[in-house]
Amino acid sequence: MSPYLEENGTATVHRHQAKDTPRVTPPSPQSEKRPDGVADSKTVSPGIFEDNERHEPERAPLRTVFPALELEEHAVDEHESRRAIVVGAGPAGITAGILLQHKVPGLDLTILERNSDVGGVWNSNIYPGVRCDVPSDVYQTTFSPKTDWSANYGRGAEIKAYWKGLVAKYNLGNTIQLSHRVLEARWSEALAKWQIRVEHLGAVRVEEADFLITATGHFSDPRLPSYPGIETFQGHLRHTSNYDPAFDAAGKRVAVIGNGASGIQVLPQLQKVAKSLDHYARSPTWIAGSFGGEKIPPSTSDSRELAPQDAQGYTQFRKSIENKSFDRFSIIFKDQLPNKKARETFQGLMAARLGDKRDELLDAVTPSFSPNCRRLTPGPGIATPGYPNLFFLLGPNSTGPGGTLPHSLENSVTYIAKVLRKVSSQRIRTIQPTEAATRDFRAYCESFFPRTVMSENCSSWYNGGINGGRIHGIWPGSGSHLNIVRRQVRWEDYEYTYLNRQGNRFGYFGNGWSVKDIQAAELATSKQETTGEDGEREVDFSSYLKPEAVDGKLDLRDYHESWWDL
């Protein structure tokens, strides 16, 4: 970084120079001295002036513009310990727990989960027929894949077991506090901390954290509809997200309300045993085949069985599915060929399933809106102004209409990790997005979504269940578009306050030393004290030197960019 200088007339003014710091000016080669030993004001520069008696214009003495900065006694790379609390231990919270502890040095992390076990939606959703509506092989982390799924579309219990296994594998047991319900979170400006009221076994306490990260998911708060008379219903009444496993539908009259993902999954299971079953739907919905009407690539079982011996083969199999998840973006645009073809495909699938009832029912169950206006039944929403040090996983406009959820979560957590590294290494007190940046982002969203079928006359969680409502459920672009945008944090979109008492943004520079400088000095001092000899400094200051450079195999694309290799 270049020093900040100002020209003030003929004087050069150095910003932030301490007023008591001595100025050392090397004497001119031919400075003349008066008899009292003080150098004359004239300076001779041979080769520049022909007349050696010519006087250089007098320069005003350097002066301090600002009060001297009180240096902090720490190394520049000595990270300030911060505490972060993550709310939720489903896939989002577990992903955050794994990656943040690897990516943010010195982070004190706690995950609060209201349920008695981890897994999020896969812990609470236990209704008959519950399973993933995307292929299991892409509904998992990219860094720790399970290669032996029992089915292309894993059942809920198997999916929960996978995520619970990651908790054990990455030692998150002591980080996660189960049966801890967050009641309230308030920001204390005086302390620059979140004060979080938490209930556990009937007792309420307040936890404090420098950063609060919500990982509560999209479907964490089920609500029963407020139909007139529902409060006096005497039968068994449950939401699928709160299903009673002891309930036996055999021989009973059952009504299922809703045709979303859970309604479509539970319906055929109850139909097998119920005396009678009525299905009520507010409006039609598109029911696609598995994986949006497309087939999963063949050789699934072979790829899984050989995965431990052939990681390359399994990876290629997974890539073939994951690439399809990204390569479906064009289907969301109005009046475009991909959306028209999707309509034809889905309508054909639905007609085939109706069988001999096709002519009677097809028109009644076919939606008037285009596919993807609502989320198909299978077949930067990161921060907000006015809420410092608060970050969202699966927040508004946070996941793309293409790609996979686990990969999107990993990118979101990595983005937050970059923020946490910055605030801890640069001793930032608070960080929040600016109002201007938020307005600009919203303007982009509201210009993009009218091009898509999501703006048609349908209600979904994309628009908060309001026909024509603002689309806030997904990212305004493709999954690939989101990956590119989220790869780099736009630091100019944030505003900051600093821990430094004088509010100086460079206070984190500390005392001019690095951790390695201090380690080397301590080693040398220890060797001198024990042997009386100067010790060799056994600290690697040149970790950037790699044998790959000698071999000509060094990848220069990320050379000198890794934060952990300094």
d(CA 530, CA 472): 66
d(CA 283, CA 407): 32
Q: How many residues does the chain have?
A: 566
Tokens at residue 53, please?
């008696």
Domains and CATH numbers, the chain: 82-221+380-433+473-498 (3.50.50.60), 235-280 (no CATH)
- Residue 185: CB atoms within 10 A of its CB come to 18
d(CA 212, CA 214): 7
d(CA 136, CA 378): 13
Residue 187's φ and ψ, nearest 5 degrees, are -90, 130
Residue 413 three-state SS: helix
Kindly give the confidence (pLDDT) of every residue in the chain, 566 residues in length, as a single tens digit, with 9 standing for 90 and above. Answer: 444 434 333 333 333 333 343 333 333 444 444 444 444 443 333 343 344 455 556 666 666 666 688 899 999 999 889 999 999 999 999 999 999 999 999 999 999 999 999 999 999 888 888 888 889 999 999 999 999 999 988 999 999 999 999 999 999 999 999 999 999 999 999 999 999 999 999 999 999 999 999 999 766 667 777 788 888 888 888 888 778 888 888 888 988 887 777 777 887 888 888 888 888 877 666 565 554 445 555 545 555 666 656 888 889 999 999 888 887 766 666 565 655 555 556 566 656 665 666 565 556 655 655 454 444 333 256 888 999 999 999 877 777 777 889 999 999 999 999 999 999 999 999 999 999 999 899 888 888 888 877 666 666 656 555 666 677 778 888 888 899 999 999 999 999 999 998 899 999 999 999 999 999 988 888 876 676 666 566 899 999 999 999 989 999 998 998 888 77
Q: Which amino acid is at 378?
A: P
d(CA 322, CA 170): 25
Residue whose C-alpha is closest to residue 476's, from 396, 409, 397, 415: 397
Q: Which long-range contacts (CB under 8 A, 24 or more apart) does 26-33 make?
A: none
- Residue 3 is predicted with a pLDDT of 40
d(CA 464, CA 477): 19
Residue 86 three-state SS: strand
CA atoms within 13 A on the CB side of 1: 5
- Residue 160 is predicted with a pLDDT of 97
d(CA 391, CA 209): 13
d(CA 75, CA 566): 13
Q: What is the b/e burial string over 341-371, where b = at least 16 CB atoms within 10 angstroms of the residue's CB? A: ebbebbbebbbeeeeeeeeeeeeebebebbb
- Residue 340 is predicted with a pLDDT of 57
Geometric angle at alpha carbon 338, from 337 and 339, rounded to 5°:
90
What is the DSSP track for 126-193?
A: --TT-B-SS-GGGSS-SSS-----SSSS-BHHHHHHHHHHHHHHTT-TTTEETT-EEEEEEEETTTTE
d(CA 54, CA 49): 7
- Residue 552: CB atoms within 10 A of its CB come to 6
Left (φ > 0), alpha (ψ -120 to 50) or beta: where does 100 sit?
alpha
**For helices 479-487 and 405-425, what crossing angle results, to 10°?**
10
Q: What is the b/e burial string over 79-91, where b = at least 16 CB atoms within 10 angstroms of the residue's CB? A: beebebbbbbbbb
d(CA 534, CA 423): 38
Q: Number of helices and strands (H, E) in the chain?
A: 13, 14
Residue 72 three-state SS: coil
Report strand pairing: 11-14 vs 5-8: antiparallel
d(CA 190, CA 423): 18
481: Cβ contacts below 8 Å, ≥ 6 apart: 400, 475
Q: Check if the beta carbon of residue 388 is closer than 8 Å to that of residue 187.
A: yes
- Residue 92 is predicted with a pLDDT of 96
d(CA 91, CA 75): 37
Q: Check if the beta carbon of residue 268 is closer than 8 Å to that of residue 245.
A: no
d(CA 366, CA 354): 12
Residue 97 three-state SS: helix
